[in-house]
Structures are given as C-alpha cells and as structure tokens.
Amino acid sequence: MKECLICGHNIEPFMSFGKMPIANGFLTPEQFADEYFFELRVTFCPNCFMFQLVEQPDREQMFNENYAFFSGTSKGMATHFKEFAEHVKKDYLKSPNPFVVEIGSNDGIMLQNFASAGIRHLGIEPSANVAQVAIDKGIKTICRFFDEDLAREIVKEHGQADAFLGANVMCHISYLHSVVAGIKILLKPTGIVMFEDPYLGDVIQKTSYDQIYDEHVFLFSLSSIKYLFEQHGMELVDIEPQSTHGGSMRYVIAHKGMRPVSKNVLAQLKIEEKLGLNKSQTYDVFRRNCELSRDNLIALLYDIKKHGKRIVGYAATSKSTTIINYCKITPDLIEYISDTTPIKQGKFSPGMHIPVRPYEEFLANYPDYALLFGWNHADEIMAKEQKFKESGGKWVVYVPNVGVLE
C-alpha cells in the first residue's frame, strides 16, 4: 500500500509503465552503465482526488546544473508567458510598488516581462544552469528550492508578495504541503496565486500518457487543487483553461474569503464529474487506453520500417522518454531524434539510447517519416516544417490517436 502524498489515505497503484530513466537525463555513452532507473507507477486517491506517482526520484537528480530544458527556446511559449504576465499586471497588481515571485522561473522567460516594466520581482529556480541564464539577463533570481523556510527569508528581505506565480512546476513538487504553507506566509492578504500545469482532464481524454514521467509527480484536477489549498486556509477562486502543453489549466487562488469565487470554477467541477475524474473506474479505462495506444504505435513503426522507410524522432522532449521506454522504441526503429537544444545534441535519449542530433541534420536529409514527440507544439512545428511536407515527408502521431498525417 502507498500513502497519498496529500491526505495520507491508503492507495494502491493502478498502472506501471515499467522501469524508467530520468526523463531529461540525456547522456553520453560513458554514462550508460551507471544510468539511474526507477519504477514508474501511478495511483489515484479517492479521498483527495489526487493523481500521483508512487515513487519519484530525489529532486536533485532531476533539477540540477545539467537541467536540459530551457523555456526560452520556444517562440510560442515566449508569447504565452508574455500574455500571462500582462494578465497579472493588468488585473492583479493594484498596490503601489508591487512584488512578484515566481517558483521554477527557469531562464526568466516570464519574469523578464516584469523586469522590463520595472516591477519588483524574484525568481526561484533550483537548476543552476538555467537560473544563471536568467541572472545574466538581469532578472533577479535565486538558485533554491522553495519551502516554508525560504518563504520566511523572502518576506524578511523583500516583504510579502502581491502575486505568486508558477508555470509547469507545481506538479513537479512532492512536498506540496510545505510549498503551500510557504505561499500562505509569503502572500499578502489581498495577494493571488496563479499557476498552470498539465490538466488531468486533458490527459484522460487524449490518452496523453507521455505527461506521466519523473518530474510530474502529480497531475492536477480542480478537485485535487481545491482540497490541497483548503487545508491551508486558501481557496480556488478562478480557472482559465490553456492550450499549452497539450492541455493545461491555470488556477487562481487567494486567501479564504478575500475574493469572490468565479462561476468558472463550479462549471468546470461539473465537467470533471461528467468525465469521472473522481472515480477509480475512470483510471482502469485509462490504463487500457494507454496499452492500446502503445501497441498500435509500435505496430505502426514496425510496419513503416518493414517497407524500408526512414523514421526520425522530432524533438527530444521529456515526454518522449515515457513514450520511447514504455513502447520499447529502439534505435533500429528510430534513426535519431532531431532537436534544437545544444545541451542535448550529441547525447543519447534516456533509457533506449537513441542518438540526439542537431536540427540541421533533419533539414539536410529529410526522413520519410518524423515521429512527433513535440505534439504539444504541433501548430508551431507544422508551420515551420512546410518543406518537409512538400518533400513527401509524413508525420507519425500518437495523441489523441495513433496514425500518420499525410
């Protein structure tokens, strides 16, 4: 039995994806022998409605000086975070000399919009290499993990915050009670918390099981977020569905009783009830859908190779690690993975050790098929890769269904 990380309720795993490496752990051949693996199992708590990993590697193994994800590499995400920041500035920064704090601020892609406006800000980023990128851009950043102790330090030095922000980070943190307790200390009585993460409802509807990997210790629903924050005297006051990362939810939270609760919250809770997100049976169906998707994808790849065609992976994402290892996609199926991130190029994918090569190789010699690991950026990618399509290239996709885009 496993104790729920949020409420302590006894729960049992409903699915295992098998042995899995660190999703962002791109490595060199010298590191193959010592590669770390853990059992990627998931469970659902019927008491607090939290979908969670059974086991998560130590945080230092995932977030460190070699972290391989830089938010600023995507133009689409830069636009998204600019709009996020403008929304906060317009609707929530009403006090004179406001103060904004962001958890998991990465390379400063969101905070740069506050810095350029002369707004007091502080980024909290535990991965030293990406934190340094933000610091070099003049964005005030500290390389730490956020918890209650750090919250007290920040209040002592800077005062309380008007807004506490996060994007694709809260779901990474196993010790959420300490984080939320810290937020309560840090946030002004009239302040707001606004964060977004991949949404459980989208994962279930699209069978996007590649959202499940070591960093994503949780996949949130409104019900689970409500439960968590209510334990700390805070409440969910609004939500804003987002298209980013294949379907995310932005949550707005305040101290209890300080802001009216939007009708959006009740409406989405009713949708969750229809989706069955609070019922264990839903996750049995999800498990079967994942297994079917896996079987269909591997059968399609083998069929393509049987006809002598070349397949290349497109975008060495964290999510691709789950797909590659769960489906047992080996280097004899995929020639290499094309990626624009320099830190990943010349290395090998976690687990299956498929070469990661510069994007220029993709351009120089188009494959017959490209397996779209970056499906959550599909619109941006398709617009960019018109020449690949015109050359006769085809996309292999697996969300929401396995198939070939002609």
Which domains does the chain carry?
2-45 (no CATH), 71-259 (3.40.50.150), 282-405 (3.40.50.720)
In the chain, the percentage of residues whose pLDDT exceeds 70 is: 96
In this prediction, residue 244 carries a pLDDT of: 83
* pLDDT digit string, tens, across residues 225-245: 999 999 999 999 999 999 887
In eight-state DSSP terms, residue 323 is: H
Structure-token pair, residue 46: 């019927």
Say yes or no to pLDDT of 31 above 60. Answer: yes
In this prediction, residue 303 carries a pLDDT of: 98
What average pLDDT does range 169-180 have in this prediction?
Answer: 94
How many whole angstroms separate alpha carbon 312 and alpha carbon 384?
A: 17
In this prediction, residue 280 carries a pLDDT of: 93
pLDDT band with cut points at 50, 70 and 90 for residue 62:
low
pLDDT band with cut points at 50, 70 and 90 for residue 183:
very high
In this prediction, residue 15 carries a pLDDT of: 96
Range of lowest pLDDT (126-140, 204-218, 255-269): 126-140
Range of lowest pLDDT (74-88, 152-166, 169-183): 74-88
Asked if 123 and 111 count as a contact pair (C-beta separation under 8 A), the reply is: yes
pLDDT band with cut points at 50, 70 and 90 for residue 117:
very high
pLDDT band with cut points at 50, 70 and 90 for residue 66:
low
In this prediction, residue 332 carries a pLDDT of: 96
Say yes or no to pLDDT of 2 above 90. Answer: no
In this prediction, residue 63 carries a pLDDT of: 57
In this prediction, residue 91 carries a pLDDT of: 95
pTM score = 0.92
| pLDDT averaged over every residue in the chain | 94
Half-sphere exposure in the Cβ direction for 119 (13 Å, CA): 28
Residues 87-99 as b/e (b if ≥16 CB within 10 A, e otherwise) read ebbeebbeeeebb
How many whole angstroms separate alpha carbon 2 and alpha carbon 174?
A: 14
Say yes or no to pLDDT of 68 above 70. Answer: no
Say yes or no to pLDDT of 353 above 50. Answer: yes
Asked if 186 and 154 count as a contact pair (C-beta separation under 8 A), the reply is: yes
pLDDT band with cut points at 50, 70 and 90 for residue 78:
confident
**DSSP H or E stretch at residue 165:** strand 161-167
How many whole angstroms separate alpha carbon 270 and alpha carbon 268?
A: 5
How many whole angstroms separate alpha carbon 313 and alpha carbon 337?
A: 4
Structure-token pair, residue 176: 């959420």
Say yes or no to pLDDT of 388 above 90. Answer: yes
How many whole angstroms separate alpha carbon 165 and alpha carbon 122?
A: 10
In this prediction, residue 343 carries a pLDDT of: 87
